C-alpha cells in the first residue's frame, strides 16, 4: 500500500535552494543550539555539536538505544536504501526523511493523503495530538494467513523541519501502549536530519547510506546499544493485529 505520494507538481517546482531568498516561516527555521536541554527533537544537522554520539546513515542520524536493532529497507531494483527501521522489543519505528519547501510545512497535506489511502482501503484513521504534535492513529487492513482480514495498528508521526520532513511510522506495542511507546519516542526525539545543500524537489527521498558499523566494529561507546541486522531486510517489524 503506497502511503506517500510525490507532489504532482514536484517536477516543475524547483527546490528553494536555487530560488531567491524569501520570507521564511519562523516555525521552520533551525532552532538556536542554546535552547534549554528540555527542548526536544528531531533535530537539524546544524543544531548538533558532537557528531560522535550518532550512527550516521546519511540523511538520518540515530543515537544508540540499549537493545535496539536496525533494519535497512532496500529497493533492490534501484539498489537504493529507502528507509531505516529501529526495533525495540515488540515495537518498531520506520524513519524516512524527505525534501520540503523552505517556507511551508507539508505534514498536514501528507497526513490527509495517508488517511484517505487507508480509509479507502477499509481501514480507519484518526487525527490525535501526541508528543510530536498532530499524528494519525490508524488500523490498516491486511489479509491474514487464513484469508480473513486483519487490522494492524500503526501511528504516523510527521515533523516539518527546515527544508526537510521526517515521517515516523510506529508499529507493534508502541502503537497502542504508552509505556511501550516511550523508548520508541526517545529514538524519534533524538533523530538528526542532514538535509544537505543540493537542490531537490519537494517530497523527494533524502539519500540514506550504509553506516560505518556495517563494515567495521561498533564504536566502544555504542557497543550493546545498537546492532545491525540484515542489510537487505524485507521482513516486517513487530505487529499487533486484530481479526474481524
Chain centroid to CA 233: 17
- The three cell numbers of residue 157 are 508521526
The answer for 52, left when phi > 0, alpha when psi is -120 to 50, beta otherwise, is alpha
78: Cβ–Cβ under 8 A, 6 or more apart, which residues? none
Q: What is the C-alpha R_g of the chain?
A: 18
Rounded to whole angstroms, the Cα distance separating 130 from 111 reads 14
pLDDT, one tens digit per residue, over 121-164 is: 999 999 999 999 999 999 999 988 888 999 999 999 999 999 99
DSSP 46: G
Identify the three-state secondary structure at position 126.
Answer: strand
Q: Which of 170, 4, 186 is nearest to 100 (CA)?
A: 4
154: Cβ–Cβ under 8 A, 6 or more apart, which residues? 138, 139, 140, 169, 170, 171, 175
Query: Interior CA angle at 61 toward 130 and 139, to 5°?
Result: 35
Each residue's pLDDT, cut to its tens digit, for the chain (244 residues) gives 444 444 433 333 334 433 333 334 444 444 443 443 335 789 999 999 899 999 999 999 999 888 999 999 998 888 899 999 999 999 999 999 999 998 889 999 999 999 999 999 999 999 999 999 999 999 999 988 888 999 999 999 999 999 999 999 999 999 999 999 999 999 999 999 999 999 999 999 999 999 875 433 334 444 333 444 433 333 344 544 443 4
Locate the domains of the chain by residue range. Answer: 60-210
Q: Which CATH number fits domain 60-210: 3.30.530, 3.40.1000, 3.40.50, 3.30.70?
A: 3.40.1000
Amino acid at each position: 500500500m503506497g502511503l506517500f505520494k510525490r507532489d504532482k507538481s514536484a517536477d516543475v517546482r524547483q527546490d528553494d535552494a536555487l530560488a531567491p531568498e524569501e520570507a521564511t516561516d519562523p516555525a521552520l527555521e533551525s532552532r538556536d543550539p542554546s535552547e534549554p536541554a528540555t527542548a526536544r527533537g528531531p533535530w537539524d544537522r546544524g543544531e548538533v555539536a558532537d557528531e560522535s554520539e550518532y550512527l550516521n546513515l546519511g540523511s538520518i542520524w540515530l543515537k544508540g538505544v540499549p537493545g535496539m536493532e536496525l533494519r535497512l529497507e532496500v529497493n533492490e531494483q534501484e539498489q537504493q536504501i529507502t528507509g531505516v527501521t529501529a526495533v525495540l522489543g515488540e515495537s518498531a519505528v520506520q524513519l524516512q526523511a524527505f525534501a520540503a519547501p523552505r517556507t511551508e510545512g507539508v505534514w498536514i497535506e501528507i497526513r490527509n493523503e495517508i488517511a484517505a489511502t487507508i480509509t479507502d482501503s477499509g481501514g480507519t484513521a484518526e487525527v490525535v495530538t501526541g508528543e510530536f504534535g498532530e499524528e494519525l492513529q490508524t488500523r490498516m487492513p491486511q489479509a491474514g494467513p487464513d484469508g480473513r482480514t486483519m487490522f494492524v495498528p500503526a501511528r504516523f508521526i510527521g515533523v516539518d523541519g527546515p527544508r526537510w520532513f521526517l515521517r515516523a511510522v510506529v508499529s507493534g506495542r508502541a502503537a497502542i501502549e504508552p509505556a511501550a511507546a516511550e523508548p520508541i519516542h526517545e529514538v524519534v526525539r533524538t533523530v538528526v536530519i542532514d538535509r544537505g545543500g543540493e537542490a531537490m524537489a519537494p517530497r523527494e527521498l533524502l539519500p540514506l547510506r550504509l553506516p560505518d558499523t556495517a563494515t567495521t566494529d561498533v564504536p566502544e561507546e555504542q557497543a550493546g546499544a545498537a546492532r545491525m541486522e540484515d542489510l537487505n531486510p524485507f521482513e516486517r517489524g513487530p505487529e499487533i493485529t486484530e481479526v474481524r
